[in-house]
Structure 1
Amino acid sequence: MNTHDADSGVPLRPRLRSIFRLQWEVAQDGYVLLYPEGMVKLNTSAGAILERCDGQHELDEIIGELEQLFSSSELAPDVYRFLDHARLRGWLD
């Protein structure tokens, strides 16, 4: 069972739902989220976040990796906001 952050409802170990597949698409020059009805083109940061949503990485770990990757700090609010958006769109378990 995947527990959720009490404030945001975001899973503490987010995982893409099985109907979605994240992949780098050369023709789109970026990450895309594929599903039976279509495709969503993602920006670089959204792709980096979803790439880590494997059900194994905890939120704090994801945020730490992204802060290191983007040489930035205080990314937690943005990551939470995006993951909440992804959750509401049905992308996450």
Structure 2
Amino acid sequence: MANLAENAIKTTDTPRFRRGFRFQWEPAQNGHVLLYPEGMVKLNESAGAVLSEIDGQRCVQDIVAALKATFPQAGALEDDVIEFLEHARQQHWIDLT
């Protein structure tokens, strides 16, 4: 069995959407959604904020910094962002490089 820490998301990892997934604002849903061939996921505000920072170029650390700048009142965000990105990876929405 592989050590879970070996597979943990690191702040130096760069997330990108998996092929076939598209993140966008959907006026009909009045929120951000993640579209994929089999359907759609309506995202809450926090999930939309995190996924809106994914561009395939910036690492997790840079994404956290951008979110802190946008939401300075939120306090420490790193653990929450990493936890959400792990959920997104388990759902096969994102890959890491």
TM-score (norm 1): 0.86
Q: RMSD over aligned Cα, in angstroms?
A: 1.8
- Partners in 1 of 2:70 and 2:54 — Cα distance? 16
Match of 1:14 in 2: 15
Q: CA deviation at 1:54?
A: 1.8
> Which of 79, 82, 96 is equivalent to 1:80?
82
Q: Secondary structure at the match of 1:18?
A: coil
- Structure having the higher helix fraction is 2
Q: Secondary structure at the match of 2:69?
A: helix
- Partners in 1 of 2:71 and 2:7 — Cα distance? 25
Q: Secondary structure at the match of 1:15?
A: strand
Alignment of 1:46-61 (within 5 A): 46-61=47-62
Distance 1:77 1:7, change over 3 A: farther
- Structure having the higher strand fraction is 2
Match of 1:63 in 2: 64
Kindly report structure 1 stretches of 4+ aligned residues shifted beyond 4 Å.
none
**Unaligned segments of structure 1, at least 5 residues:** none
**Unaligned segments of structure 2, at least 5 residues:** none
- Partners in 2 of 1:39 and 1:21 — Cα distance? 9
Match of 2:30 in 1: 29
Match of 1:90 in 2: 92
Q: CA deviation at 1:30?
A: 0.6
Q: Secondary structure at the match of 1:48?
A: helix
- Of the structure 1 ranges 73-82 and 51-60, higher mean CA displacement relative to structure 2 is found in 51-60
The percentage of aligned residue pairs carrying the same residue is 49
